[in-house]
Amino acid sequence: MNEKSTMNLDTLKTPRQDAQGRWHELLSPTQVLTGQQQSHMGEQLTNKKKKCRGNRKAQRQRRRLRRKGLYTETGARNGDHELNVQHLEQHDQIFEEDISDKIQVNVTSNQVPHSTQSKIHQNDSKVKKSTKRKRRDMSSQPPSNTIHESLSQLTISPPLNKKQKMINNEVQQITTNGNSEKTRSKCKKQNNHNYNDSSYVPDYLKVSNRIFKKMLISSLDGAKEIVKRLNSKEKINYIRQYAYLIHRLFYVQLQESQWKYYYDIGIQQNIWTGRVSKKWAAMNSMNYTYGRSKNLIEQRLKKIERQLQEASEALHNFGQQPLPQSISEMNPPLDFTKLNAIVTAVVRKGQHKLKQQFEHNKKILILDSTDHRLVKNVYDLKPNKQQIRSIRNIWKAIYNKNQMEEQIEILKHRIHSNCLPPAFNLLDYSLDRIDKKLRGSKQSSTNDNDSKQQTILAARRLKKIGRFKYDLLELSIAAGEQKVRYYDKKAKKEKKKLITISDKLKKNNTNSDMFKQLMEGIEARQQHMIERADYITQQKIKSFFDEAPASQDATMNNDGVGAN
């Protein structure tokens, strides 16, 4: 009897194959009633279920838009809509897997009661209806172009593109025949000028009307009366186009003068282009390249000649066009002679920095070419390895000394011009809490003596901070001067070493005239390095401190710096 029962249990536990070819295990009615199979299916579901970390593609897209500043609330809601749909689809897949697994368990009607079968079918139908209803509800909602905010704000969310690689910019350009048209350019950044010159050239077509009027008023005396009459957008745009065309003509003329200078100095002094390896330049404390080739200069001059002709034709065609109606109907009419002088003065003033940069490039070309020539003259004397090592150490010490002297000069000018380094603002930020507390206590105090005392404490605090900043600058200058003395000693030490090496060579009957030429070449290059460093330092100070705003901190003036 026991053997038969064990055989029956084994037959129930063995897998069987149905008519569709699927393998399954037959369960006893007791297992179905006690719920053992439900727990087994729950364990399978927990094992199959994966962690949902959201839609990574949508997250990357939102991150990309957030970096560009294009991520809005509507985009976030559309993203949430897609996430909800995907979450529902994942939920439906889990239910369908659960249902299919339950259906695969082929239980006969004799083993499973009819009531349990009817309950399973009812639950399955409810799940399917609920999921279909959710899908229908989500699909019935409009995906885009819906009003997400209140009706008072009227913020309609446009459909977002999948990926924005380039930005479409509409830039109003002046054509050669004088007419203005809008051209769509697909580019990340549109530069109307060269990369090196774009920071020095104003764009008269993009500047605001308020700033453009200020530029016109500040150009000449008496310009305010004429600018006041430019009270419409059509008038301002006409003057903008005229200023742009004049600026374009003057800009090409400046380029022509610069490249002609390169060509003339190349013909006269044979200064075209020079290049050495970066490693060689670092060992000899020099720039590795300078100048331009003759072929490049000739090509650029031809291109500039064509651009100059186009700019002059565009300006001529613009002058031949009839005036806008708002300008032609002005009573009394505009004084175009004075208006022309005003616009020309604005363009000349706007190109002042560009002209200075061109002159700086010319000067640097001469200095760099001379530096390369002096280094070549020293190596043409064919010094030995020990002499070359000492020569490079001398030039390196002179180079470091010049760099340190440049920083010292800039710090001294910061003290005199009350223009502190940006890093000094961290000191003010760290003391903002104390300042807020003092201001809050000052407002809450009712006693006059307390308010006066707090005012005195605040003023004393500001003077202490100013004195501390001044002391920091003085310490930096002192440290820099000590470093200058160190490099000076190092250069003198290397010169003495070079002299001792030459004395040993004299004993070996070497040519003393060659040593004199070598020392003269080293000294000439050293003086040239100092001259070049002084010029660059003066240019940096001039370009930085001419338009640098004065410090608004009252502690750095002459009265408050030394206060205790």
Same domain membership, residue 525 and residue 495: yes
The structure tokens listed for 369 are 């070419």
Mean pLDDT taken over the chain: 72
Specify whether 300 is located in the same domain as 438.
no
Provide the 10 A C-beta neighbour count for residue 257: 13
Same domain, 336 and 401: no
Task: Look at residue 148 and tell me if it is in a domain.
Answer: no
pLDDT of residue 370: 95
Segment 281-303 shows an average pLDDT of 94
Mean per-residue pLDDT, 486-508 = 85
Residue 151 Cα distances to 109, 155, 180, angstroms: 61, 8, 39
Specify the number of domains making up the chain. 3
Confidence at 121, pLDDT banded by 50, 70, 90: very low
pLDDT at residue 25, as a whole number: 52
Check residue 67 and give its pLDDT: 83
Per-residue pLDDT, averaged over 290-303, amounts to 95
Whether residue 233 is found in the same domain as residue 370: yes
Percent of the chain exceeding pLDDT 90 equals 33
Provide the pLDDT for residue 187: 39
Residue 17: helix, strand or coil by DSSP? strand
453 and 368 in a common domain: no
Q: Which of 130-144, 173-187, 190-204, 285-299 comes out lowest in average pLDDT?
A: 173-187
Tokens 């990926």 belong to: 163
87: in domain: yes
Which 3 state secondary structure label does DSSP give 552? coil
Q: Is the predicted pLDDT of residue 561 greater than 90, yes or no?
A: no
Give the DSSP letter of residue 556: G
Residue 434 lies in a domain: yes
Which residue range forms the structural domain that includes residue 276?
199-376
The answer, yes or no, to whether residue 453 has pLDDT greater than 80, is: no
Same domain, 60 and 89: yes
CA distance 202 to 482: 43
pLDDT in tens, 30-44: 554 445 545 555 555
At which of 344, 376, 408 does a domain end? 376
Residues 497, 401 share a domain = yes
- What is the rounded average pLDDT of the residues 222-246? 90
Q: Please indicate, yes or no, if residue 80 is contained in any of the structural domains.
A: yes
Structure confidence at residue 508 (pLDDT): 65
Residue 200, Cβ density class (10 Å: 0-12 exposed, 13-18 middle, ≥19 buried)? middle
What single DSSP character describes residue 147? B
Q: To 10 degrees, the CA torsion angle through 263, 269, 273, 276?
A: -170
**pLDDT of res. 262:** 95
Q: How many helices (H) and strands (E) does the chain have?
A: 19, 6
Q: What angle do CA 37, 42, 44 make, to 5 degrees?
A: 95
Q: Average of pLDDT values for 346-362? A: 91
In a domain, 173, yes or no: no
| Residues 446, 409 share a domain | yes
Same domain, 367 and 407: no
DSSP letters spanning 245-288 = HHHHHHHHHHHHHHHHHHHHHHHHH---EEE--HHHHHHTTS-S
Q: Do both 324 and 397 map to the same domain? A: no
The reply to whether 355 and 461 lie within a common domain is: no
Top-ranked range on mean pLDDT: pick from 9-13, 225-229, 504-508: 225-229
Task: Tell whether 154 is covered by a domain.
Answer: no
Of 337, 361, 376, the residue at which a domain comes to its end is 376
What's the rounded Cα separation, in Å, for the pair 172 and 204? 11
Q: What is the pLDDT of residue 205?
A: 85
Q: Of 242, 239, 247, 236, give the one whose Cα is nearest residue 193.
A: 247
Q: Does residue 161 lie within any of the structural domains? A: no
- Residue 266 confidence (pLDDT) above 50: yes
What pLDDT score was predicted for residue 316?
93
pLDDT given at position 299: 96
pTM (predicted TM-score): 0.59
Residues 550 and 482 reside in one and the same domain? yes
Residue 474 has pLDDT above 70, yes or no: yes
Measured distance CA(445)–CA(453) in Å, rounded: 11
Half-sphere exposure of 535 (CA within 13 A, CB side): 16
277 within some domain = yes
Q: Of the ranges 11-25, 213-227, 322-336, 505-519, which one carries the lowest mean pLDDT score?
A: 11-25
**CA 252 to chain CA mean position, Å:** 29
The DSSP result for 279-293, as a single string, is HHHHHTTS-SEEE--
Last residue of a domain, one of 376, 405, 430: 376
Closest CA to 25 of 37, 34, 38, 12: 12
Confidence of residue 509 (pLDDT cuts 50, 70, 90): low
Confidence of residue 18 (pLDDT cuts 50, 70, 90): low
Q: What angle do CA 82, 67, 146 make, to 5 degrees?
A: 35
Are 29 and 112 in contact by the 8 Å Cβ rule? The answer is yes
Most confident of 63-77, 168-182, 362-376: 362-376
- The pairing of strands 273-275 and 168-174 is unpaired
